[in-house]
Copies of this chain bind each other. A is one copy, B any other.
Amino acid sequence: MQVAFSADERRVAEQPYYLASGDEVEVFQAAHRQRLPLMLKGPTGCGKTRLVEHMAARLGLQLITIACHEDITAADLVGRYLLHGGETVWVDGPLTRAVRRGAICYLDEVVEARADTTVVIHPLADHRRELNLERLNETLHAPDDFMLVVSYNPGYQSVLKDLKQSTRQRMVGIELGYPVAERELRILVRESGIDEARAMELVKLAHAIRKLDASMLPDVCSTRTLVSTARLMCEGLSARAAAMAAMLLPLCDDAEVVRGLREVVNTYLPQ
């Protein structure tokens, strides 16, 4: 069976812009120095990936990202024998490459992966810091620079998909949320090229929506959707049309809820 997954490997050359909202940079650094694995919690589009990219550049480490899903198995992480020209060749998986190189291995949405992946992580995530390559009859000892980072969105968790306490309690946690207004404004201007006045209108709208009754909405507007809205406005769409397309329609399918949100939009944005 073939499983495709994205292992995004790159040394982040230029240090991405990141404005800390709390002590997340200090905790990240302390965990790295103590060789403790890290767990990032937070909603979609709040900057978890951005923080990892920023810290990888800051620590001068290569970053290997694995987007997890329900078909990801331990073998996908560790590696497997493949047939090449009639020869069986061992091919390291992304986790093994990260251990060999002393890189940051970032398992995005880790709870989506299959259960056997936690088995591979456990001996890497405690005092042993070992990766067992059973098939190669080899055990890798992770260099000091190697760091395991996982992310997940607590809002999506269900009883069926959750990290076991024996996994969680091996990790140090960082919780992220959406940025405060002034910081979100700066991000909008920087990422879309929109002017500050219109950006502020969007930020105010987003904060209004985020204050709505949680039971009414499946989620709230991420910073990412604000950036998309601003970019559509730069193409000449009206603020309301852009917010409809990039904020409301992606958020929700319920016609009545969309109608209610549209009124909020009309209150905050010019015609």
Q: Which residues of A contact B (CB under 8 A)?
A: 1-9, 23, 26-27, 29-31, 33-34, 36, 39, 41, 44-45, 67-75, 77-78, 80-81, 83-85, 88, 109, 112, 114-116, 118-120, 122-123, 126, 128, 130-132, 134-135, 139, 153-154, 156-157, 164-166, 168-175, 218-219, 221-222, 224-225, 228, 231-232, 234-237, 241-242, 244-246, 248-251, 253
Contacts and interface: CB of A to CB of B under 8 A. Distances in A.
A150 to B, nearest CB: 11
A119 B5 contact: yes
A115 B116 contact: no
Contacts of A248: 173
Contact of A118 (B69, B118, B245): B69
Contacts of A84: 88
A84 to B, nearest CB: 7
Contacts of A253: 41, 154, 157
